[in-house]
Amino acid sequence: MGTLLAPVSRQPRSSRVAHHLLFPAQVLVAEENVDFRIHVENQTRARDDVSRKQLRLYQLYSRTSGKHIQVLGRRISARGEDGDKYAQLLVETDTFGSQVRIKGKETEFYLCMNRKGKLVGKPDGTSKECVFIEKVLENNYTALMSAKYSGWYVGFTKKGRPRKGPKTRENQQDVHFMKRYPKGQAELQKPFKYTTVTKRSRRIRPTHPG
């Protein structure tokens, strides 16, 4: 006598369709549990070649030295007085988030961090060593972390000497800066102006004397 097989129950078509409709929702719930802060950090690290670059002019006041960052060619310090020509920095926003390139207005050298964690000035700022992630801290100070060497920050001693990246931490006062406009100078970027256009607006034709 042959082996009896249990009858295979077939689900109604409507049940199978409902199952497929519910499955994407389950995936969506799983994705919502992902840490959004990690997503933002990853997006901040990505280059953005679509958005318009923003260029600003300001100084970076060091919390520890009580002076401003100077780009003195290949040498970097934090001993600049307010309004010093070497302390005036052109800061280009590199992404939608906070990636920036910092160039000395006077020398046209870029602030960079090499593989040893040393702050140096370079005439060419295209390297990722010259890109920093700008972080606004809870105490309203700003910290600049290397985009290439994660966890290494721009920092200075009380005498205005650069600290090496591996010896810096976000919570150290050595890496805290405050943005300040140079004396008597406004922001380089002009404010955006809105233009209102209505359907009734007509082009005014110039009148020529008869």
CATH code of the domain covering residue 79: 2.80.10.50
pLDDT tier, 93 (very low <50, low <70, confident <90, very high otherwise): confident
- 30: Cα separation from own chain's centroid: 29
What is residue 194's predicted lDDT score, i.e. its pLDDT?
42
**Which residues touch 77 (CB under 8 Å, ≥6 apart)?**
69, 70, 156, 160, 161, 162
What would the mean pLDDT of 27-47 be, rounded to a whole number?
48
Looking at every residue in the chain, the average pLDDT score rounds to 78
In a domain, 75, yes or no: yes
Complete DSSP assignment for 98-155: SEEEEEETTT-PEEEE-TTS-EEEES---SGGG-EEEEE-TTS-EEEEESSSTT-B--
**Which residues touch 85 (CB under 8 Å, ≥6 apart)?**
105, 106
Question: Residue 144 pLDDT more than 60?
Answer: yes
Question: Residue 18 pLDDT more than 50?
Answer: no
In a domain, 135, yes or no: yes
In a domain, 4, yes or no: no
Its domain, for residue 148, covers 54-180
In a domain, 6, yes or no: no
Phi, psi dihedrals of residue 181, rounded to the nearest 5°: -80, 145
Residue whose token pair is 């943005």: 179
- 204: Cα separation from own chain's centroid: 44
In a domain, 130, yes or no: yes
Q: Are 177 and 160 in contact (CB under 8 A)?
A: no
What would the mean pLDDT of 41-50 be, rounded to a whole number?
50
Q: What is the number of domains present in the chain?
A: 1
In a domain, 147, yes or no: yes
In a domain, 155, yes or no: yes
First-last CA distance in the chain: 116
What would the mean pLDDT of 15-39 be, rounded to a whole number?
47
In a domain, 128, yes or no: yes
Q: Are 58 and 78 in contact (CB under 8 A)?
A: no
